[in-house]
Amino acid sequence: MTAPATRSDLSPSPRLTRLPGLGMIDGTFLTLAIGAAILWFAPVGMGRYGTYVLSLWLVMSIAVMGLNLTLGYAGLKSLAQAAFMGLGAYTTAILTTKFGISWYAAFALSGLLTFAVGILLGFPALRVKAHYLAFVTLAFSTLIWLILRNEQWLTGGVFGISNINRPDFFGIKLFGALEFHRFVVVVTFILAVALWWLIRSPWGRAFTALRENPIRAASLGIDTRAYTLLAFAIGSAYAGFAGALYAPLVEFIDPSPFSLSQSFFLLLMVVAGGAGYLLGPFVGALLGVVLPEWLRFAGSLYLIIFAAIVMLLLIACPQGVSGLMERGWAKITGKRGDAR
Amino acid sequence: MNQVLEVSNLHKAFGGIKAVNGVSFSVNEGEILGIIGPNGCGKSTLFNCILGQLEPTEGSVKLDGLDVTNMRPSELNRLGVSRTFQLLQVFPELSVRENLILAGQEHEGSMLSRLFGARDAGLTEKAEQMIGFFKLGHLADAKAGGLSYGQQKLLDAAMAFMAGPRLVLLDEPAGGVNLTMLGDLKERLRAINAEQGATFVVIEHNMDFVMSLCSRVIVLAEGKVLAEGTPAEVRADPAVIEAYLGH
């Protein structure tokens, strides 16, 4: 499941686009910045639904980014990313609608709560790796879904929570689809840059070591327990952040988007986009969120076509679209590319 | 002379099989101690028990007089104990330089400083020195997984020395390495021992390598110490000849 995730973002110099005077900036950062600028203007003339799909793509990208850290970089298999997203979405919805707390505080608390739950849930992963965590997260996913559906006094049960307000931004109302989309672009950009920073730091190197060879990593002084917990908790917090944005985006939430099948779908997005590639989640979420929209002309067949495309992609390139792009780039330039 | 490592009455049983059966020995500061013995005699299990990768059934391990029995490998490493493995244990998707930086990064600063500090944890220069020292200069940017077996063995050893350890346990460092590289490796180990005063414990089957590198040799058989002495004494020991070296 774990792709080899060759990562030039860890290599000190040769493949980086270093700009004089801007030291730390590289090709990945530039791609994120240019992408954010394009997405700022992209919805112009697209209408409400088109804008909503673009925003949804970015929100899902945040959740996939978190899972990419957990799985793609640190090699930990989690089946609860959608449950963490649900935890974030419901925390934000409950705090803003029932307690009148500002969205920004709710956003931070959603991240903190999912981080803390991630730490607690990560402990079993320290005993036996890989499969144990997968089973624990499987159980957690089911538990969260049952709570969301059955604890009607808190979550509204199957009726969900409606009238979730969108936040203001320094007095600017974000009620319109375009305004909120631009807000989502900014938040996504900040979270993507934070992850870019993390992955390039010694922490990112330690996460990779955890994935590739935890025994050797421990023998080199790497605290595998701390890094395992951190990778899982930070990845879960990203799902919490995604949920905190998702709730005001859709303005109504119920348990269905946070089920186990959605967690599998997020896993699919990580792998299809390219596990261990920093930009992979955007590609994966594009495949998962936007491609089905483009295939709607095929009527009821669109999900079958979508599944077939993903299967063919993974047969042709198990490293996902990012891996495919890297291979293509390597052929063009005759050396390893910087597709991440 | 200071005793760096003291192993006392160490036992490790897997069910009914006693892989290590009451082994005791000590290693002095600056010494290069060899451990030899037939396959399955418990050499690697002994290493894994000393290094906290396996929990000994009985016995103790002391580092500079401090009881480190069952201490976690990462903590032991940060106390200055490093190791190489019998099978290749490099990080194949990272470059040679990144492997070396990784091998040293946890020895500097705190978790937070590693998140917000320099990407290379200030170790690029040290990594370049190790790359030069182990003659891997032309491979610094190559992915470790693409290196030859012998080159990966050199990298594995270089990683063990990256943080300037006091005690290094080398598990079959010469296994599968060609004669030229073997000479290089031996020369490097001797230089580190002489210049930095690092103490080594070496498990090895290559008798020429052990006998020419080590000042003292312990022979294990069936989980017990069969003999101990200088290379010449061990080579002449009838029990060792019978059990391991052959006539």
Q: How far from A199 is each of A7, A109, A222, A291, A337, CA to CA, in Å?
A: 10, 24, 16, 28, 18
pLDDT at A231: 95
Which of B87, B93, B101, B153 is best to mutate for the A interface (most A CBs within 10 A)?
Answer: B93
> How many CB pairs below 8 A link A and B?
104
CB nearest A201 (choices: B89, B114, B159): B114
CB contact under 8 A, B105 and A201: no
Determine the average pLDDT of the residues in B117-141.
Answer: 92
pLDDT at A227: 94
Number of neighbours of residue A143 by Cβ within 10 angstroms? 12
CB contact under 8 A, A198 and B115: yes
Inside any domain, residue A115: yes
Find, in chain A, the residue whose alpha carbon is nearest to that of B76. A221
What rounded mean pLDDT belongs to chain B? Answer: 92
CB contact under 8 A, A206 and B106: yes
pLDDT at A118: 95
Q: What percent of chain B has pLDDT over 90?
A: 75
Total tally of structural domains belonging to chain B:
1
Domain of residue B196, CATH code: 3.40.50.300
Find, in chain A, the residue whose alpha carbon is nearest to that of B162. A220
Determine the average pLDDT of the residues in A303-315.
Answer: 83
Q: How confident is the model at residue A98 (pLDDT cuts 50, 70, 90)?
A: very high
Are the C-beta atoms of B197 and B224 separated by less than 8 Å?
no
For residue B39, what are the domain limits? 3-245
Q: Which residue has the higher pLDDT, A329 or A183?
A: A183
Inside any domain, residue A40: yes
Determine the average pLDDT of the residues in A282-298.
Answer: 88
CB contact under 8 A, A219 and B83: yes
CB contact under 8 A, B74 and A12: no
Residues 6+ apart with CB under 8 A from B194: none
Which of A220, A222, A229 is best to mutate for the B interface (most B CBs within 10 A)?
Answer: A220
pLDDT at A130: 61
Q: How confident is the model at residue A1 (pLDDT cuts 50, 70, 90)?
A: very low
Q: Give residue-wise pLDDT tens across range A154-202.
A: 999 999 999 999 998 888 888 889 999 999 999 999 999 999 999 999 9
For residue A58, what are the domain limits? 29-260
Determine the average pLDDT of the residues in A280-285.
Answer: 95
Three-state helix/strand/coil letters over B4-50: EEEEEEEEEEECCEEEEEEEEEEEECCCEEEEECCCCCCHHHHHHHH
- pTM for the model: 0.89
Q: Over 60: is that where the pLDDT of B48 sits?
A: yes
Inside any domain, residue A1: no
Q: What percent of chain A has pLDDT over 70?
A: 89
Q: Over 60: is that where the pLDDT of B183 sits?
A: yes
CB contact under 8 A, A223 and B89: no
Total tally of structural domains belonging to chain A:
1
Are the C-beta atoms of A9 and A199 separated by less than 8 Å?
yes
Q: How far from B15 is each of A105, B48, B57, B87, B223, CA to CA, in Å?
A: 55, 17, 11, 25, 14
Q: Which residues of A touch B141 (CB under 8 A)?
A: 11, 14
Please enumerate residues of B whose Cβ is less than 8 A from a Cβ of A: 51, 53, 72-74, 77-78, 82-83, 85, 89-95, 97-98, 101-103, 105-107, 111, 114-117, 119-121, 124, 141, 143, 159, 162-163
Q: What percent of chain A has pLDDT over 90?
A: 65
Find, in chain B, the residue whose alpha carbon is nearest to that of A224. B74
Rounded Cα gap, residues A65 and A81, in angstroms: 10
End-to-end CA gap in chain B: 36
Q: How confident is the model at residue A45 (pLDDT cuts 50, 70, 90)?
A: confident
Q: Give residue-wise pLDDT tens across range A131-144.
A: 788 888 999 999 99
Q: Which residue has the higher pLDDT, B143 or A7?
A: B143
Q: How confident is the model at residue B225 (pLDDT cuts 50, 70, 90)?
A: very high
Interface residue A335 vs chain B (CB under 8 A): no
Inside any domain, residue A207: yes
Q: Over 50: is that where the pLDDT of A111 sits?
A: yes
Q: How confident is the model at residue B7 (pLDDT cuts 50, 70, 90)?
A: very high
pLDDT at A304: 83
